[in-house]
Amino acid sequence: MGLLLKRASCSGKRGLDFEKHPALELKIELPDALLVQRIYLVSRRFYQAVLFMKAEQRANEALAVKVLDSFKVLSDADVSSAMKAKAAEAETSPLPQEPFVPRIRSDAEDEGLHGNVKTVFKERQDLSGTWSVQGRKPSSMEYYNQRENLTKMEFYDYKGNLSDITVYGYLDGARVSNRKSN
C-alpha cells in the first residue's frame, strides 16, 4: 500500500462553488487509475462524491465529471414535496364496506379501544441515542369507520416516511385487505 501511495500524485486540488455552498475537489492520479473526490459542506453536513476510473476508462473522464457536476443536494422542502408525491402515488383505492359482515366485536374493541374511534396515530422514539435517525417519528396510522372497523392502515419506516398502506373491506361476504408498498 505504501508503494502505491508513493506512486500516486495529487494532480489537482480546487475549491468549487456548489449551489452557493463550499466544496473541495481532490484529483489523485494513480499509476493505473484516477480518483476524483468531491466534498461538499451544506447546512453543517458533509457530502462526498467519489469517482474512480481505471486507466482504460480515462477517455470517458469528461463524461464522468459531468455526472459529478449533476450532483444536487435537495432542500428539506424538496424532500417533503417528493415524499408527499410518493405517498399520493402509493395510495390504494378503498375497498367496499358493504355488504357488512356482522362480527361479535369490532376491530376497535379487539384493540381495547373504547368510544367513537376514528383514527389512532402511533409514534416511536429512540431514547437510547443509538438509532441512526433521532427524534419522534410516526410508526403507523389506523383509520376506523362508524362501526369501529378498520378501513385503512399506514405504516412508516424508521425515518418516518410512508412505506406501506393496507386497506380493508368486504367482498363476496368475506373480510379482505389490499396492501401496497413503496
Write down the pLDDT at residue 21.
74
Write down the pLDDT at residue 3.
44
- For residues 169 and 95, give the distance between their C-alpha atoms in angstroms, rounded to a whole number: 5
Read off the DSSP letter of residue 91. P
Contacts of 121 (CB under 8 A, 6+ apart): 138, 140, 141, 142
Write down the pLDDT at residue 155.
92
Write down the pLDDT at residue 150.
92
- For residues 115 and 120, give the distance between their C-alpha atoms in angstroms, rounded to a whole number: 12
Mean pLDDT per 10-residue section of the chain, whose length is 182 residues? 52 68 81 82 78 79 79 69 65 73 85 90 81 79 91 88 88 84 76
Contacts of 97 (CB under 8 A, 6+ apart): 145, 149, 151, 169, 170
Write down the pLDDT at residue 37.
84
Half-sphere exposure of 141 (CA within 13 A, CB side): 14
The grid cell for 78 is 424538496
Q: Which domains, ranges and CATH numbers included, belong to the chain?
A: 2-69 (3.40.1000.10), 90-181 (no CATH)
8 A C-beta contact, residue 21 and residue 8: no
Write down the pLDDT at residue 1.
44
